[in-house]
């Protein structure tokens, strides 16, 4: 074919590709740029980086230690009949893992910064709950308790964050204490969320209604919320204790589940 014909074919293919890609790009742009999903995207990426970083480090350490152990064991056994006993060795992580953790820490800092004015949204939530509380007595009590725990949580996190960046004068001891207390308030919210989900499931089952598309959708949403909350719960306990109880790999895995379970349906 002549050069003009080739150009025409190439142009037609590019137009077809652009037309096919536009809906996906539009959806990606909407999800990635929307304020409502920004923290969700950042959270999923933050914890996924921790998970991948820890996995790379673990694989790297096992491979290197296995090679060193095999070589030393053969050498010692050959020269002196000495048997090498394995011991725990702390090795520096690969550079790619360090860079991933650095990016994860930066994302965490950005997320907390964006929550500095989160109290405004929480106050709007409180007003909406006061104006239209749940009809069920238990759900009503849970809703108000969650509002209180979150309104108390946010200022404490703000002070701890600003203090850790030396923007306001707060001692390191007080900063650590503020992080712990704010995390315990977050844990209270998560525990109350289990109560809410359990009560809603009980009320839904007691209605004896036929399964409809709407009820199936509600059940799917309920299961997703339960999964997210179940992933959050160990994290809240971990951050609520000064020494923590989880390893970094578990933190990364649970955070990825909590974020991914809410992010995937958006795509």
124-177 pLDDT tens trace: 999 999 999 999 999 999 999 999 999 999 999 999 999 999 999 999 999 999
Strands (E), the chain: none
Residue 148 placed within a domain: yes
Residue 80: count of CB within 10 angstroms of its CB: 8
Any domain includes 89: yes
**In this structure, is residue 21 part of a structural domain?**
no
- Contacts for 22-29 with beta carbons within 8 Å, 24 or more apart? 27/267
> pLDDT for 221-235, tens place per residue?
999 999 999 999 999
End-to-end alpha carbon distance in the chain: 41
- Does 17 reside within a domain? no
> What total number of domains does the chain contain?
1
Q: Closest Cα partner for 130 from 146, 144, 110, 145?
A: 144
In a domain, 174, yes or no: yes
In a domain, 241, yes or no: yes
The pLDDT tens digits for 20-79 are: 776 776 767 666 666 667 889 999 999 999 999 988 888 777 665 555 555 555 555 555
With beta carbons less than 8 A apart as the criterion, state whether 112 and 101 touch: no
Residue 236 lies in a domain: yes
Cα 29 off chain centre by = 21
**Which domain range does residue 128 map to?**
34-266
> For residue 126, is it within any domain?
yes
Residue-level pLDDT at 84? 46
Q: What is the pLDDT of residue 19?
A: 73
């Amino acid at each position: 074919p002549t050069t003009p014909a080739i150009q025409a074919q190439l142009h037609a293919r590019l137009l077809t590709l652009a037309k096919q890609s536009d809906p996906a790009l539009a959806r990606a742009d909407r999800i990635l740029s929307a304020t409502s999903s920004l923290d969700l995207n950042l959270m999923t990426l933050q914890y996924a980086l921790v998970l991948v970083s820890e996995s790379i480090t673990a694989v790297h350490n096992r491979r290197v230690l296995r090679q060193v152990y095999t070589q030393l064991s053969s050498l010692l056994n050959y020269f002196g009949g000495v048997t090498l006993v394995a011991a725990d060795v702390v090795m520096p992580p690969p550079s790619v893992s360090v860079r991933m953790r650095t990016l994860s820490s930066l994302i965490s800092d950005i997320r907390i910064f964006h929550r500095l004015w989160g109290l405004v949204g929480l106050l709007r939530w409180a007003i909406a709950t006061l104006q239209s509380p749940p009809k069920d007595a238990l759900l009503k009590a849970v809703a108000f308790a969650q509002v209180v725990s979150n309104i108390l949580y946010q200022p404490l996190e703000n002070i701890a964050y600003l203090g850790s960046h030396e923007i306001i004068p707060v001692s390191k001891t007080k900063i650590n204490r503020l992080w712990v207390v704010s995390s315990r308030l977050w844990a209270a919210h998560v525990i109350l969320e289990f109560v809410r989900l359990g009560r809603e499931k009980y009320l839904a089952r007691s209605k004896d209604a036929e399964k409809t598309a709407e009820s199936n959708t509600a059940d799917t949403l309920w299961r997703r919320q339960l999964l997210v909350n179940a992933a959050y719960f160990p994290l809240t306990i971990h951050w609520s204790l000064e020494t923590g109880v989880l390893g970094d790999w578990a933190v990364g895995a649970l955070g990825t589940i909590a974020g991914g379970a809410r992010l995937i349906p958006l795509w």
